Structure 1
Amino acid sequence: MPSTAEHSNRTPFFDRPWVRWAGVGLVVVLMIVVPLMLPEFANQTIARIGVFAVAVLGLNVVMGYTGQVSLGQIFFVGVGAYATAFGVNADWNILLVFLFACALPSVLGLLVALAAARLGGLAIAMVTIALPLIGVPLAKRLSDFTGGSQGTSARFSDAPEWTGLYDDQWQLYIVFLIGGITFLLTRNLVRGKYGRAFAIVKGNEAVAGSMGVSPYRYKVLAFTIASLIGGVSGFLYMVVVQYTSPETMSFGHSIELLASMVIGGAGSIVGSILGGIWYVLVPQITNLIDPNITAVLQGAILLIVLFILPGGLVSLPRLWRRRRRDGDSPRGRAATGAVERTDAAASVTGSSTVGDALGAPPGAPPPSQP
């Protein structure tokens, strides 16, 4: 039998436990130190990236991992923001405000999911499209709670005097803390039994049903979790921006969230972070180039990235390693082309086969479909 040292030498460097823990420790140190070193604008930009990375994460749960089309995630972000503003202006305890900002979108998401989860394809897409289309005029009509067309503000995230921090530093720490916990819990969810069930439902609902995995149940669960995460993003939005209006939940923002998820990488935790970066930074960059053609530039960048990286930005390191390893031989080039096509399919289906989702051994035949 190989010795422990020999086994360690065969383990890829970045897969070794001590390397992973060292990486986690480095990230934690950076999250503590970086807000103290950067200027106000940089801290605010990073905080906004964190806000929308959480929003993209919620969309990834329902679309990237479960395969259900949702075009209404921004609605739940807006509801979370309005719930936060309402609780703050009513002088509620901040913990109660946070719970309310998570619970209200969750309940609304559950109600929508119970009605829509039996649908599929374009039908459920039409249902979710209606959410932001209804949400904007509804927010304008309920002016006693939302401030109407003028919106509403809630100033509650200024740095306490005892911290000695500036407001932008304090707000970034809040985003790091709540957003980091949200990402960690979601990662554990999608890597556990629920994540495997989501993958099976996404791969083939008929096969899932034959295996005792209820597609309806897990689609409702995924949609509700995505709504809850949207509420968390809405709370963080008010922490950073401290103002919301009906424009927050407009349909255009919903499409931008969807594009950010695809660009970052569907069905990927890291892809959600990259999607948040895309959502915040690309409009700023295109505005600097020419504010009159911002939409055109964003569309062109989107097409170029998807043409080069069908699996999203998260697939870039993996693709680079494979090309470096296999690109010198004709067989390697053919294999790399196959890998690119597989990555593109995986970004849509979440896993190549139902057998992969269940942890079947390599080369095992896929289960028969009814």
Structure 2
Amino acid sequence: MNAAAATARRPWVRILLAALAAIVLIVAPLALPPFANQTLVRIGVYAVAVLGLNIVMGYTGQVNLGQIFFVGLGAYVTAYGVNHGWNILLVFVAACAVAGVVGLLVALAAARLGGLAIAMVTIALPIVGVPLAKRLSEFTGGSQGISARFTDAPDWSGLDNDQWQFYIVLVVAAAAFLLARSLVRGKYGRAFAAVRENEAVAASMGISPYRTKVLAFTIASIFGGASGFLYLAAVQYTSPETLSFGHSISLLAAMVIGGAGSIAGSLLGGAYYVFVPQLTNAIDPNLTTVSQGAILLAVLFLLPGGLVSVPRVVRRLTRRTGAGRSTGRRSSAGPVRETSQQTAPAHRPVPDDALEGHEQTERQDGP
């Protein structure tokens, strides 16, 4: 086990595994059926949203219950730009920028708050966003929603639409995960961790908790806008329902179950967001909410670190089992050694004090 873990930590092994994963992801859409590609596309969409939520909550410890608002905002900006003939790269930049600016404005006001206060501010985002989207029908299509079709595969690619969508989501999601990994492993990641652990200690180290919170919230908003762009690329339609508070809670549950404070956990959270509702609906549509709550409680009790902690838990259990077996062998061999010591003849050395006393007695008894 230790040798395998040491081998896995070597740089060339990691590079080889990353290259293998990249090859699989590039080749997979060419071999998979359309339904499988669409499922993987949806996982990528929500994995980016969970990733943004993980940065602000998992790494920085700041409450954010309104991440779905920025996903919906990015989707609306994307639909508006596509329907008005904008360049697709400009549409993507606009979706991220608008979500980031709105997130910055919210963070500037909310980052000084704490506890329930900031929770209430973020809860208000989707609650206000739904009626606002219905009223701004000129931009959002009102209650009917708005559609935008821009991910049809070009003729020169020779790909089907589901394959083209897969590659769009793959490029954006891969860039988002690489950026987040670089972010949390650098100086900003250390600042996030310091603020999460203790704001007073972070301030004494020269780290501004306020600026760090604003930065984390703004980055999470940008990731939400990118997820909204991908959502419209995959679904090609959005409505006020996209902004509903229930979806925000589902994103939060996906982050916790995947693994808070983990890049890989965000990907697992995206898979949970897509697969678990389908599973619970297949079992009993009337008990979908109850089933998802039971799954959440089970993971919290059995795997507090989320699904990403499963390998660590398995290694821990394996070490305990191995230690228990070795202890059992020692305890079974112990009595044998004790018996051999008891049956062997005793050859105890004479203490030096006794020899000195014997020599004094001989001098006294002598002539």
**CA offsets 1:109-146 (integer angstroms, 9 cap, x no match):** 00000000001111100000000000000000000000
Q: Paired residue for 1:57?
A: 51
Q: Paired residue for 2:115?
A: 121
> Which amino acid in structure 2 is aligned with residue 42 of structure 1?
A
- Which ranges in structure 2 are unaligned for 5 or more consecutive residues? 328-367
Q: Paired residue for 2:84?
A: 90
| 1:247 paired to 2:274 | no
Q: Percent identity, please.
A: 71
> Which amino acid in structure 2 is aligned with residue 105 of structure 1?
A
> Which amino acid in structure 2 is aligned with residue 43 of structure 1?
N
Structure 1 pair 250/332, CA: closer, same or farther in 2 (3 Å)?
Answer: farther
Q: Measure how far apart 1:189 and its partner are.
A: 0.2
Q: What SS class does the counterpart of residue 159 from structure 2 fall into? A: coil
**CA offsets 1:196-234 (integer angstroms, 9 cap, x no match):** 000000000011111110000000000000000000000
Q: What SS class does the counterpart of residue 91 from structure 1 fall into? A: coil
Q: Is the 8 A contact 1:109 1:224 kept in 2?
A: yes
Instruction: Please identify the structure whose Cα radius of gyration is greater.
Output: 2
**CA offsets 1:233-254 (integer angstroms, 9 cap, x no match):** 0000011000000000100000
| 1:81 paired to 2:75 | yes
Distance 2:251 2:259 in 1: 12
> Which amino acid in structure 2 is aligned with residue 157 of structure 1?
T
Q: What SS class does the counterpart of residue 280 from structure 1 fall into? A: helix
Structure 1 pair 274/327, CA: closer, same or farther in 2 (3 Å)?
Answer: same
> Which amino acid in structure 1 is aligned with residue 311 of structure 2?
P
Distance 1:274 1:94 in 2: 29
Distance 1:281 1:16 in 2: 33
Structure 1 pair 11/60, CA: closer, same or farther in 2 (3 Å)?
Answer: closer
Q: Measure how far apart 1:301 and its partner are.
A: 1.2
Aligned with residue 11 of structure 2, among 14, 17, 40: 17
Alignment of 1:205-244 (within 5 A): 205-244=199-238
Q: Measure how far apart 1:104 and its partner are.
A: 0.3
Q: Is the 8 A contact 1:326 1:332 kept in 2?
A: no
- Which ranges in structure 1 are unaligned for 5 or more consecutive residues? 1-8, 334-370
Structure 1 pair 45/210, CA: closer, same or farther in 2 (3 Å)?
Answer: same
| 1:39 paired to 2:33 | yes
Q: Measure how far apart 1:330 and its partner are.
A: 6.3
| 1:105 paired to 2:99 | yes
Aligned with residue 297 of structure 1, among 288, 291, 301: 291
> Which amino acid in structure 2 is aligned with residue 108 of structure 1?
V
Q: Measure how far apart 1:79 and its partner are.
A: 0.2
Structure 1 pair 94/313, CA: closer, same or farther in 2 (3 Å)?
Answer: same
Q: What SS class does the counterpart of residue 159 from structure 1 fall into? A: coil
Q: What SS class does the counterpart of residue 103 from structure 1 fall into? A: helix
Q: Measure how far apart 1:159 and its partner are.
A: 0.4
Aligned with residue 176 of structure 1, among 157, 170, 175: 170
Structure 1 pair 10/44, CA: closer, same or farther in 2 (3 Å)?
Answer: closer
Distance 1:145 1:65 in 2: 35
Q: Paired residue for 2:63?
A: 69
Count of residues paired in the alignment: 326
Alignment of 1:312-351 (within 5 A): 312-329=306-323
Q: Paired residue for 1:155?
A: 149
Distance 1:302 1:36 in 2: 35
Structure 1 pair 10/278, CA: closer, same or farther in 2 (3 Å)?
Answer: closer
**CA offsets 1:83-115 (integer angstroms, 9 cap, x no match):** 000000010111110110000000000000000
Q: Measure how far apart 1:11 and its partner are.
A: 7.3
The 4+ residue runs of structure 1 with deviation greater than 4 A are: 328-333
Distance 1:177 1:329 in 2: 45
Q: Measure how far apart 1:322 and its partner are.
A: 1.1
Q: Paired residue for 2:132?
A: 138
Q: Measure how far apart 1:170 and its partner are.
A: 0.4
Distance 1:11 1:140 in 2: 54
Q: Paired residue for 1:261?
A: 255
Q: Is the 8 A contact 1:265 1:275 kept in 2?
A: yes
**CA offsets 1:163-203 (integer angstroms, 9 cap, x no match):** 11000000001111110001001100000000000000000
Q: Paired residue for 1:167?
A: 161
Distance 1:93 1:32 in 2: 25
Aligned with residue 273 of structure 1, among 267, 292, 296: 267
Q: Paired residue for 1:195?
A: 189
Distance 1:10 1:175 in 2: 33
Q: Measure how far apart 1:329 and its partner are.
A: 4.3
> Which amino acid in structure 2 is aligned with residue 311 of structure 1?
G
Structure 1 pair 10/169, CA: closer, same or farther in 2 (3 Å)?
Answer: closer
Q: Measure how far apart 1:327 and its partner are.
A: 3.3
Distance 2:50 2:308 in 1: 14
Structure 1 pair 329/63, CA: closer, same or farther in 2 (3 Å)?
Answer: same
